Structure 1
Amino acid sequence: MLFQTITSNEANSVLIVGGGDGGVAREVAKHPAVETIFQVEIDSRVIEVSKKFLPFMSVGYSSPKLSLFVEDGFKFMMQHKEEFDVIITDSSDPVGPAVSLFQPSYFKLMRDALKPGGVVCSQAGTVWANLEHVAQTLEHCRSVFNVAAFAHAAVPTYPSGQIGFVLGSLNSVSC
């Protein structure tokens, strides 16, 4: 699983920004070391629709480890410094308001919300659809974190058959 791949430490506290379908929460909750999951989704309608039409994904919302907040992830992270072992951003593509989730300022917010040794994983698109965007997102991650890398996973239902993400850490052994 991706979560076990991106963290070599005992991750007790995880923040998910976005992820309104509940799938990331579902997978993170399976990790035995995780004690608390904070999920921040800006749009309550995404959660409602997912619970109604994607019950196999939204089952993540039933985890006793999960605390769900319907608010802006930027504001949430500004109020939570050095609290999370892992931060995962499961966002929409960088269009409209979501553009802000792909900027250096967002990576700085994630850095500041991480505990020492923490790891971030953020949606970065696909090299097949927009190589320039992927390269720029990776560069933004590199500008903030000591270690940054691009990875991808096969997702047959996505238009390109895959999704990419950037990983970042201030600690060289975490990525």
Structure 2
Amino acid sequence: MWKGLKPGSHLPFGAAYPYKLDMVETEEFGNMLFLDGMVMTSQKDEFVYHEMVAHPVLNTHPNPENVLVVGGGDGGVIREIMKHEKVKKATLVDIDGKVIEYSKKYLPEIAGELDNPRVEVKVDDGFMHIVKSKNLYDVIMVDSTEPVGPAAPLFERGFYQGIYEALKEDGMFVAQTDNPWFKADLIRKVNKDIKEIFPVAKAYYANIPTYPSGMWIFQIGSKKYDPEAVDVNSIPERETKYYTPRLHHASFILPKFVEDLVK
């Protein structure tokens, strides 16, 4: 139940794509960030998404020193990355500075690590940043909105090919790829594209109540390392609320209808 709006305004987003940013205070989920009426994050359940973007891939790559986050202006993925002492630098590239600004103000527990000295924040086009980066990153995380407007190119094969080239020879990437109930064709297409580019391609899922259907799919592309081959005993316990070493492997066990999408 809405208790009222905090600032909401039409802001520029990409080339000729106006959108509406709302920060809404709710009784059940706390402050919620919306873009064009779509839930991006909420104080109550944000930890699920952000932990599941960051930890599976960072616990698979043995030395993720240089990490890139495309999107993710709320800072949640960066917060989780900072829990990994092997990460020497994390670069966040988000096209929208207002998301960063509003998150710092209204979602401080999510955005609190954006000022960490190991973090560089750039307000820029993530797609073009990938194009200009070659053999640079150990891990790339794509924390994008849904595939509409300026985020649409982040779900195309050319973008994944660019990620491959931006990664080092043993690099990995992860991207959120929406939900299997309403976006089955998207998941099938993205999985096919990733498999054609990367030697290792794996999908996993998590439960996020404020996202459509509650079931959310993530996909990994890796040049060398298999997330399902990780020794659970090698994963250190960290301060998390959803992800655990045991859940690492369990999240790759997909329901049959999702498994069929990514075969």
TM-score (norm 1): 0.93
Q: How many residues align?
A: 175
Q: Does 1:125 align with 2:178?
A: yes
Over the aligned positions, Cα root-mean-square deviation in angstroms equals 1.5
Identify unmatched segments of 5+ residues in structure 1: none
Which of these residues, 102, 121, 145, is aligned with residue 198 of structure 2?
145
Q: Is the 8 A contact 1:125 1:165 kept in 2?
A: yes
Q: Deviations over 1:27-59 (max 9, x none)?
A: 001111100001100011111111121111111
Q: Which residue of 1 aligns with 2:21?
A: none
Q: Is the 8 A contact 2:70 2:142 kept in 1?
A: yes
The share of aligned pairs that are identical, in percent, is 37
Q: Is the 8 A contact 1:9 1:174 kept in 2?
A: no
Q: Does 1:59 align with 2:95?
A: no
User: Distance between the aligned counterparts of 1:91 and 1:35, measured in 2?
Assistant: 23
Report the AA paired with residue 224 of structure 2.
N
Q: Is the 8 A contact 1:104 1:143 kept in 2?
A: no
Report the AA paired with residue 23 of structure 1.
G
Q: Deviations over 1:88-111 (max 9, x none)?
A: 000000112211000010001110
Structure (1 or 2) with the larger CA radius of gyration: 2
Which of these residues, 79, 89, 97, is aligned with residue 36 of structure 1?
89
Q: Is the 8 A contact 1:37 1:66 kept in 2?
A: yes
User: Distance between the aligned counterparts of 2:100 and 2:117, measured in 1?
Assistant: 17
Q: Does 1:166 align with 2:216?
A: no
Q: Is the 8 A contact 1:42 1:71 kept in 2?
A: yes
Identify unmatched segments of 5+ residues in structure 2: 1-50, 229-263
CA positional deviation for 1:115: 0.7
Within a 5 Å distance, the mapping from 1:84-99 to structure 2 comes to 84-99=137-152
Report the AA paired with residue 74 of structure 1.
F
Q: Is the 8 A contact 2:179 2:212 kept in 1?
A: no
CA positional deviation for 1:130: 1.3
Q: Is the 8 A contact 1:149 1:168 kept in 2?
A: yes
User: Distance between the aligned counterparts of 2:69 and 2:225, measured in 1?
Assistant: 22
TM-score (norm 2): 0.63
Which of these residues, 120, 123, 138, is aligned with residue 70 of structure 1?
123
